[in-house]
């Protein structure tokens, strides 16, 4: 029963992250993208602080020691990631965004090699190339002319930028964070990121202090509670109970769930998206597969801030 609940919660976590793309697309149609992100993470921080405090305590000493790298993570992985993503969602589809974000594991591998000197093997290189071809297929709509003329959608490029920001966010703990558990890193970066985004939103848009439509309020609450609180805590539990290798395979469900949600909402799915999804997911599975073992995983601290 324990393992069954663990699998279920891992599956729900990836479903919630996939749902974030559709909720975000809806919310930014009515409210400034920075305001949406600010309220989402401020609310998530207000919920996570007491929950984590009651569950395992808050390690303020470790947070002070790691303040600068945590601030960098909040700036790049919460603010930069979400601002790029929510702006991108104004002019691209949730399915496209989820498929592009599916490149994250490969990008993390690449940045780990370039920035902190981790070796990249042949399987990882092939997986990265497959993922890049998959994303190129999605953003070009399968058109060679579009690919050669570099006339991509503005929103797709912003989502790709957010994926790069998340990859950088994900490798900072490997080198610069010392003596902090993954959930402590999560709560610290979410709270700091929420404060940064809230301050930025206050400065640039009146939307942040205005009362939005009730549908937007519900969307932000769902994104905060499901995508930024329950999903993160359930993911951490799953990694702790069954290990990162088995849990990491679930990340491949995010673009699949996003596509299925789009179909359920009546959104058309193009052949280029199907082919791109297969290439991205195939690349992740191939690069992380270990002969005689199971697929590798996204590290415990590496969890989508949106759906990422």
The Cβ-side half-sphere exposure at 241, using a 13 Å CA radius, reads 16
Q: Are 306 and 99 in contact (CB under 8 A)?
A: no
- 268 three-class SS: coil
Residue 295 pLDDT level (bands cut at 50, 70, 90):
very low
Q: Is residue 300 part of a domain?
A: no
Q: Please state the rounded mean pLDDT for residues 31-59.
A: 91
DSSP string computed for 280-293? HHHHHHHHH--TTS
Question: What average pLDDT does the structure give for the chain?
Answer: 82
Q: Percent of the chain scored above 70 by pLDDT?
A: 86
Q: Is residue 49 part of a domain?
A: yes
Q: Are 130 and 286 in contact (CB under 8 A)?
A: yes
H/E element, 304: none
Cα distance between the two ends of the chain: 29
Task: Specify which of 214-228, 264-278, 288-302 reaches the highest per-range mean pLDDT.
Answer: 214-228
Where b means 16+ CB within 10 Å and e means fewer, 99-116 reads bbbbbbbbbbbbbbbeee
Gyration radius of the chain over CA positions: 18
Distance of alpha carbon 150 from alpha carbon 132, whole angstroms: 15
pLDDT of residue 215: 95
Distance of alpha carbon 72 from alpha carbon 276, whole angstroms: 32
Q: Is the pLDDT of residue 296 over 50?
A: no
Residue 31 pLDDT level (bands cut at 50, 70, 90):
very high
- Say which residue, 60 or 302, is predicted with more confidence: 60
Q: Considering only CA atoms, which of 197, 164, 215 is closest in space to residue 25?
A: 215
Q: Is residue 107 part of a domain?
A: yes
Where b means 16+ CB within 10 Å and e means fewer, 186-213 reads bbbbbbbbbbbbbebbeeebebbeeebe
- 117 three-class SS: coil
Residue 279 sits in which domain range? 2-288
Q: Please state the rounded mean pLDDT for residues 128-133.
A: 76
Total domains in the chain come to 1
Q: Is residue 294 part of a domain?
A: no
Q: Is the pLDDT of residue 300 over 50?
A: no
Q: Is residue 302 part of a domain?
A: no
Q: Is residue 188 part of a domain?
A: yes
Beta strands of the chain (E only): which ranges?
A: none
Where b means 16+ CB within 10 Å and e means fewer, 3-25 reads eeebbebbebbbbbbbbbbbbbb
Q: Is residue 296 part of a domain?
A: no
The Cβ-side half-sphere exposure at 193, using a 13 Å CA radius, reads 32
Distance of alpha carbon 300 from alpha carbon 233, whole angstroms: 11
Q: Is residue 293 part of a domain?
A: no
Q: Does the model's pTM come out above 0.85?
A: no
Q: How far out from the chain centre does Cα 46 lie?
A: 20
The H helix count followed by the E strand count for the chain is 16, 0
- 120 three-class SS: coil
């Amino acid at each position: 029963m324990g393992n069954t609940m663990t699998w279920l919660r891992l599956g729900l976590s990836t479903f919630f992250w996939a749902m974030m793309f559709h909720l975000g697309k809806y919310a930014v149609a009515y409210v400034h993208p920075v305001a949406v992100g600010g309220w989402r993470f401020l609310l998530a921080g207000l919920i996570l602080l007491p929950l984590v405090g009651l569950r395992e305590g808050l390690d303020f000493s470790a947070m002070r020691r790691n303040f600068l790298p945590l601030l960098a993570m909040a700036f790049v992985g919460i603010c930069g990631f979400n601002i790029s993503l929510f702006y991108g969602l104004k002019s691209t589809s949730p399915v496209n965004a989820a498929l592009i974000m599916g490149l994250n594991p490969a990008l993390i591998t690449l940045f780990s090699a370039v920035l902190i000197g981790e070796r990249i093997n042949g399987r990882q290189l092939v997986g990265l190339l497959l993922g890049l071809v998959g994303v190129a297929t999605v953003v070009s709509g399968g058109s060679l002319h579009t690919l050669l003329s570099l006339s991509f959608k503005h929103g797709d490029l912003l989502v790709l930028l957010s994926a790069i920001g998340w990859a950088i966010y994900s490798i900072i703990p490997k080198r610069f964070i010392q003596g902090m558990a993954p959930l402590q890193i999560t709560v610290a970066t979410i709270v700091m990121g929420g404060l940064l985004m809230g301050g930025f939103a206050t400065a640039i848009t009146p939307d942040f202090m205005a009362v939005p439509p009730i549908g937007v309020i519900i969307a932000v609450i769902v994104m905060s509670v499901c995508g930024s609180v329950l999903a993160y805590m359930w993911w951490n539990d799953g990694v702790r109970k069954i290990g990162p290798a088995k849990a990491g395979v679930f990340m491949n469900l995010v673009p699949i769930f996003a596509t299925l949600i789009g179909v359920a909402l009546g959104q058309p799915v193009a052949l280029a998206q199907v082919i791109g999804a297969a290439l991205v997911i195939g690349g992740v599975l191939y690069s992380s597969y270990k002969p005689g073992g199971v697929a590798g995983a996204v590290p415990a601290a590496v969890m989508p801030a949106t759906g990422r």
